Chain A
Amino acid sequence: MTLEASAVTSVVSSIKSGPGRRKRRLPAGIVVVLALMATGLLWAAFAPDGRAADSSASNEQVRLGRALFLAGCSSCHGLSAQGGNQAPSLIGVGGAAVDFQVSTGRMPLAKPQAQAERHKPKYTQTQIDQLAAYISSLAPGPAKPDAATVENQANIAQGGALFRTNCASCHQAIGQGGALSNGKHAPWLGEATSVQIAEAIRTGPESMPVFGDGQLNQQQVASIITYVKFVTNPKDPGGAAIGHYGPVPEGLVAIFVGLGGLVIATLWIGSRFS
């Protein structure tokens, strides 16, 4: 039981306790919140209906968020976010998950499908923060990471090694994404923001596994983000990237451009001049 609690705590603390400015400004408040969360987490896991400790977000934010939730999300996720046949419970998922899903336009979902696709977000960032505040008020979970912390102390080479072990198997070595089973797929990473990448790593949206602070620490996540930012938009010294997908588009170019061009040349050479 204690082990369970400490595991989850470390996930949360890693997000809240980056080397960002906020921590330095309000250390006492954060520490109190974290302590409260740590003790409350066990309850969160086993008592999904229970109200966890109050969050530091203002009640006003929570109230506005609840109104947005009831209007836009409750038809699937239930009136009190308890989940339904079509949608999972949102209790305890945390602000990071809300921010990731809504800011990438994956939620709200127009119709149920194998996997939510990235779209233009339907809510403004203010509204997303309000939704996140409401969901966080139900039960604590990983909070939205601070933009300033996610790119700190990054080491691009280390990020590359971590990326190849943990991420490339689904998202492809150049971050182009790839197929999963039954119509699901790992998305292209080029359009994800640094914060969204951090949120996805920490919360494990949909098929993606979760990477907590015990698996990848804050500095390692920052390194991965730096590498992703590099590799999805690299300088290509060798000319056109032809999709960064490797041998398949290369083969198509070789056959249709290379060989095709040469076959046209043979037609020209073989034709009579008139």
Chain B
Amino acid sequence: MGVALVGICFLFPSVLQAQTPDQAEFFEAKIRPVLASKCNACHTGLKSGGLQLDSRRNILKGGNDGPVIVLGKPDDSLLIAAISHTHERIKMPLNGPKLDDETIENFKKWIQNGAVWPESPEEFFDGQVRPVLAANCLPCHGATPMGGFRLDTRESLLKGGPLGAALVPGDADKSLLIQAVQQTHDKLKMPPGKKLSEAEIADLVAWVKNGAVWAGGALTASPDDYQITPEQKAFWSFQPIKKPTVPRIKNAARAKTPVDNFILAQLEAKGLKLAPAAGKRALIRRATYDLTGLPPTPQEVDAFLADRSPQAFAKVVDRLLASPHYGERWGRHWLDVARYADTAGDSADYPIPQAYLYRNYVIYSFNRDKPYDEFIREQIAGDLMPAKSEPEKWEHSVATGYLAIAKRFSVKPENYKYLTIDDTIDNLGKTFLGMSVACARCHNHKYDPIPSKDYYALYGILDSTRFPFAGSENINEQRDLVYRLPPEKVEAALKPFNDQLKPLDEQLKKLEEEKKVLDKAGNGAGADDTPHPVAAHGTRTVQDIDKDIREVKKQRQKVRADMPTLETAYAVAEETAHDSPVLLRGDPAKKGDVVPRHFLQILGGQALPTDCKASGRLQLAQWLADPKNPLTARVMVNRIWEYHFGKGIVATPSDFGKRGKAPSHPELLDYLASRFIESGWSIKAMHRLIMLSQTYQLSSNGPHEDAAMDPGNDLYWKFNRQRLDAESIRDAILKVSGDLDSTVGTGHPFPPPVAWNWTQHKPFAAVYETDRRSVYLMVQRSQRHPYLSVFDGADPNVSTPGRDSSITPLQALFAMNSEFIHDCSEHWAARLMDEAPDNARRLDMVFELAFARPPTALEKKKALAYLDQSRQKMGAADVGPDLLTQESWASFLRAVLATNEFMYID
């Protein structure tokens, strides 16, 4: 067979070359060696100048300067001009000596005679067949094969699918593969919706006829082959944001802002009526919870009722936006999306005492109405941005806590940076772009135009970034945090201690290595660090070494205990800048082609400047915050809308891709996005635009005819009733009962760092009580907060784009029997005793506080009767006589706090 093949191999008709054995010999002897030694260093994989000189097809294709050879015409061929150094610009080989005259003559002769390039069957497969199959067939017939047929190996082609073998080597006509691509088969016409070029088909036919020789392993998708299709490019969310004209409507009187025109236009088109405007009490309660997460005070309600000016509600909105509690509410929304936690998430769930700085930065930024583009840039690359002052520089560093709080993985997070980066890319894609970029970690994105290469382009940026280390089972201390002091001052303050630590660290390293050698000789159980059995190694055993390690660690702790505590932030910094290879199937052990750092191709594919010596985070921040980026503004205004109305214009706020939901009001979305950018990315301006609309101010009860036509209220003919979220429930109860500590939260009372010794077996676990607002509760990754988990609080392991409003008996049990509710109702009752002299006035106060309205006559009657009756029952239950009134009130208040009216916003 070998002999026969040699004969055949000269006959491959790659783009019709007539050739003789002489010519083939000439190529092998005179041309191929020169190409290999002088040209291919740059002109194969690297594609310098866009040119690959590794096959006849590629040479004919040429590079950035056009074709490099003209068959039969050496004098017109760029290749000859380049190697003869007669071309004014291109002189090849680059920076090397000119080829000798004889070689140049050989090239001329070769081109003159048609540039014959004999290929072995393997070369032919690699050059002509593999790329065609990989680009056109593999996307559907790869590892998750469509129609049960995969064609990534010769075996799978021979095996075929439900219709039988796809390949009959030697017989092109009988091969289903060929019938399908020639589209001569009844049913099979491949690839779907297009046809391969004649040349490509001819190559496939020739390949099958000549035995279908396969070279190399299975077909793999080369990232280079990735093509964004016109359909993908045309997807709605990738189109530039265009400010639409405000639609004209019939019922212009009901429109308060342009937002209403967009809403009314659709309602009128569908023949739906608008609900009436909400009452003033309902409205101020709605707006106050919405912007601050707290109920309005009776004074605030009275003031709004008394203000009959047309600007009355606008004034309320302005007052609420200026409240420091605004940031605590809207900052919490952001922390949901950014999956904020106070612990790292590794197997021992190490606490992060500095995490709160980022949390407070978010709250502060919302309160200050920091322009959203600046907010993005600071969180991605604050440390690389210019700052006007030291406090600003510090704030910028703290902001990168957004990246730093990414989840840590496993017992040895120090070894799993790639997973932390994946978590970062996942969150960054969803948070800022509404794109599930992380789907492209193991393969090109199945639905959205995000190739794996784009993922690893971002990966390179984050891999060039230093993430702080929170501590772990084996390393019980923080490392790589960012100091507030400049490096020279840090150095001066810590030097005496570092000088003591250095020899200890070296000793420790040596011991660890000694242990590793023993372990390797032993069974290498993996990462687990529980005491290993004694293993003999020379005269020392693992136990001996462990004893030494413990001793050295003890000495280290002594030194560390005396070290001054310098102010640090859990923030990122620059590391050596580098591009990352594609990790095949996401496996760090399987490195593919190196990908230059760049932005997502579908969003422009911007590259780093060629002289860039930095990670690229600064550029990434700019790409994300670019007003031309079609996603950033749309995603954010949609989130704002979602938090106001309970659902987004795009109902999947973190998925603006193909599998997400299409916008219910695309023009409104673009209108809001345009106004957002025009306003200088002011989030507070968006609140005003939305809240001052009629749409926001509608009653939550609407015309029944509408309910029949649009039961889901997709068209916004009324306001959606909403359950308070976990934080608002707790904060409102603390507030009305008078127990709320409304000061800004600080750090948590974690144990001092020298005492840290958490392991997977004894992980960090704590719940810290506080009367501050719920945004200041300590949230852990390995253990849900016992209160927040009952009321659908955010899971800090994953981004939460919207909260559930589940209704469970466990919530009812909380309202009936929890210590928290009982404490708050007791405290509230005690205060009521002091604040008002009789039950009737107490009742008014309770209703105004809890429901922002006075009681009805029926309620009054019922309540007073209840208080009397419960007073008696309290007496019967041995409650002391001096406490009877107060206890009967506590009982009444528990019922108030459990009502639907308290829990829901109309």
A, B co-complexed: no
